[in-house]
Amino acid sequence: MIPYHWIEEAAERIQPHIRVTELTYDPHNDLFLKWENHQITGSFKARGAINKVLTLVEWEREAGLVAASAGNHGQGVALAAGLVGTRAVIFSSENAPQVKLEAMRSLGAEVHLVQGGYAEAEREALTYAQETGAVWISPYNDGQVIAGQGTLGIETLYQLPPLHQVTWIVPVGGGGLISGIGAAIHGVPTHDAHRLIGVQSQASPFGHAVFHTGSQAGAVEKPSLADGLAGPIEDQSLTIPLMRRFLDDFVLVSEEEIAEAIRYAWNRYQEKLEGSAAAALAAALTGKVPHRPAVVVLTGGNIQPELHSKIVAGMLEAG
Same fold, 4-43+142-312 and 46-136: yes
Query: How many of the other CB atoms lie within 10 Å of CB of 218?
Result: 8
In the DSSP assignment, the letter for residue 139 is S
The CATH code for residues 4-43+142-312 is 3.40.50.1100
Q: How far apart are CA 279 and CA 79, in angstroms?
A: 26
Q: Where are the domains of the chain?
A: 4-43+142-312, 46-136
Average pLDDT over residues 169-192: 92
Q: Which of 5, 23, 33 is nearest to 281 (CA)?
A: 33
Please name the helix (run of DSSP H) or strand (run of DSSP E) that holds residue 35, with its range, or none: strand 31-35
Cα→Cα distances 154→233, 256, 302, 309, Å: 25, 32, 24, 34
Confidence of residue 319 (pLDDT cuts 50, 70, 90): very low
Strands in 249-253's sheet, in edge-to-edge order, are 23-26, 31-35, 294-298, 167-171, 195-201, 249-253
Estimate the crossing angle of helix 45-54 against helix 176-186, to 10 degrees. 80
Summarised one tens digit per residue, pLDDT across range 108-135 is 999 999 999 888 999 999 999 999 999 9
- Average pLDDT, rounded, for the chain: 95
Summarised one tens digit per residue, pLDDT across range 264-311 is 999 999 999 999 999 999 999 999 999 999 999 999 999 999 999 999
Rg (CA), the chain: 18
Summarised one tens digit per residue, pLDDT across range 226-269 is 999 999 999 899 999 999 999 999 999 999 999 999 999 999 99
Q: Which of 319, 276, 266 is nearest to 296 (CA)?
A: 276
Percent helix, strand and coil across the chain, each to the nearest 5: 50, 15, 35
Average pLDDT over residues 154-161: 96
* Confidence (pLDDT) at 242: 97
Q: How far apart are CA 18 and CA 14, in angstroms?
A: 6
Give the right CATH number for 46-136 from 3.40.50.1100, 3.30.70.260, 2.40.30.170, 2.40.30.200: 3.40.50.1100
pLDDT over 90 percentage in the chain: 92
* Confidence (pLDDT) at 164: 83
In the DSSP assignment, the letter for residue 300 is B
Q: How far apart are CA 180 and CA 14, in angstroms?
A: 15
- At 93, the amino acid letter reads S
Distance of CA 86 to the CA centre of its chain: 24
Contact 69, 77 (CB under 8 A): yes
Q: How far apart are CA 181 and CA 2, in angstroms?
A: 10
* Confidence (pLDDT) at 118: 87
Estimate the crossing angle of helix 72-84 against helix 45-54, to 10 degrees. 30
* Confidence (pLDDT) at 318: 45
* Confidence (pLDDT) at 193: 83
Q: How far apart are CA 81 and CA 210, in angstroms?
A: 32
